[in-house]
Amino acid sequence: MSFRDPSLSASMPSSTSLGPLYTFPVPSFINLSQGKSTTWLYTTAAIIAALLILEQSVYRYKKGHLPGAKWTIPIIGKFAESVTPTMEGYQKQWNSGALSAISVFNIFIVMASSNEYARKILNSPSYAEPCLVHSAKTVLRPDNWVFLNGKAHLSYRRGLNSLFTRRALGIYIGIQDAITRRHLNRWLEDAAKEPAPKPIMMTARHLNMDTSLKVFCGKHITEEAALEINEKYWAITQSLELVNFPLAIPGTKVYKAVQARKVALHWLELAAHRSKISMANGSEPECMLDEWVQVLADPAYKGRREFSDLEMAMVLFSFLFASQDAMSSGLIYGFQHLADHPEILAKVREEQERVRQGDMEKPVTLEMLDQMPYLNAVVKESMRVKPPVTMVPYKTLRAFPISDDYTVPANSMVIPSFFNSMHDPQIFPEPEEFKPERWLDPNGSANQNPKNYILFGSGPHRCIGIEYATMNIALVLATAAVMMDFEHELTPLSNEVEIIATLFPKDGCRLKLTPRMQSNN
């Protein structure tokens, strides 16, 4: 029996079953447009997917068997880690293998952590050249001599060796001594007004910049010019991070650095012009520029005969770049190490008392520095424990067969690490410990393995101003040791480092300074 309502089976009116009461005609081109949009969407998605797959494939192919992430983050790679680098991050990468791979914005990078591979990179100019960072040529100018390679670089460098002879260093040390005393006295005056511990990072940088500019330019650069260069140079430091926005667009770090470079070159070029006039009038050399001009005028000189004012300015600017932050970092850590090891500071003072024969106002000479082996050991050990420069990026000019089973692709970055070489426990037992005595034994493993002390590089691009840099750090630490007492305020950040263009203490090394009465004996 069915209880279905018969009316429910009646058919619907035809007008209702045909659809809505009102219809609007849709032009055919709209349907066509929708179809094209869908096609473009799928096409675009397919292209993006193909590019991402290609990116991963290229990375995997270049990486080969090297340690490193199996897959790179699309497009940016290790960008986040590179923006805020840490020593822990670098050490993790170095410890992953003697060679390891990463990618940042599709720049393929091979990290070399062993001494063998680091030295091979530094000594293979036909395969790789220093590129520093991506923005370096924009900041320093692509025609700067530091970017030369091969015979052109060797020829140019040969012409600059005369600026660091013992005779030239003898001129520089007098300038360094006078400026150091002036700055340290100012430090003590400021400390008397505000005795609380203060970071010495920027004050040390100011001392270092003032010293370099006066050594390079002497009286040919004004106090106004030196101050302006000093104030603006920090922009250059910030622009030379390993990863930075590469274009000099207003507001970017690179743009600010370029403006700072223009200011510096203006004053340095003017100083070169003034030096040429001074030496032509028969003056005696009083700075690096004067020494350079006199050497060029010597008929017996067989090097390059002419340097324009701009060329001289660019060379001096490259010296500032090479010395400013690395030398400042070395100086700051030198203070920190001496403050943290009073027994070592006492030995430095004993040596100063002996060499200076009780006259602490006597200017230091090269001959006096030669009689300070313990001070020199302190400087060398300080820079070994906390190397101002941990790595120098290179770029491969062609495929570089760096090992028997791996070839670095052309146009890749290859970065030799210096840190591991100088912390090798086989060469430097207890490598994290600050032990200047390890350098006093000529037969000790430290002195018997000079290849491991690669702080200043190796090969054709080895630092040209090694003696100048170490002499300056030694002189400042020695003079500070006899002029003042300094106490290091330990903070949670005291053993942390900040990686900018080089390594600095994260808290800037906070010191409490007081006059040392013994310095008047």
CA distance 125 to 461: 9
Q: Is 131 annotated as a binding residue?
A: no
Classify residue 309 as exposed, middle or buried by CB count within 10 Å of its CB (0-12, 13-18, 19+): middle
CA distance 272 to 306: 13
CA distance 519 to 362: 11
Beta bridge partners of 514: 485
Contacts of 73 (CB under 8 A, 6+ apart): 79
Distances from the Cα of 494 to the Cαs of 148, 384, 487, 490, 499, in angstroms? 39, 18, 13, 6, 14
- Segment (H or E) for 472: helix 466-483
Do residues 170 and 366 make contact, with C-beta atoms less than 8 angstroms apart? yes
CA distance 268 to 142: 18
Tokens (6 digits) for 504:
């600095």
Tokens (6 digits) for 413:
């970055």
Do residues 454 and 122 make contact, with C-beta atoms less than 8 angstroms apart? yes
Q: Among candidates 28, 70, 129, which has minimal Cα distance to 414? A: 129
Contacts of 382 (CB under 8 A, 6+ apart): 330, 333, 334, 337, 434
Classify residue 347 as exposed, middle or buried by CB count within 10 Å of its CB (0-12, 13-18, 19+): middle
AA letter at 45: A
Q: Which residue has the tokens 């100048």?
A: 468
Q: Which residues of 499-516 are buried (b: 16+ CB within 10 A; e: fewer)?
A: bbbbbbbbbbbbbebeeb
AA letter at 494: S
Could you list the residues known to form a binding site, using ranges. 463
Binding residues for heme: 463
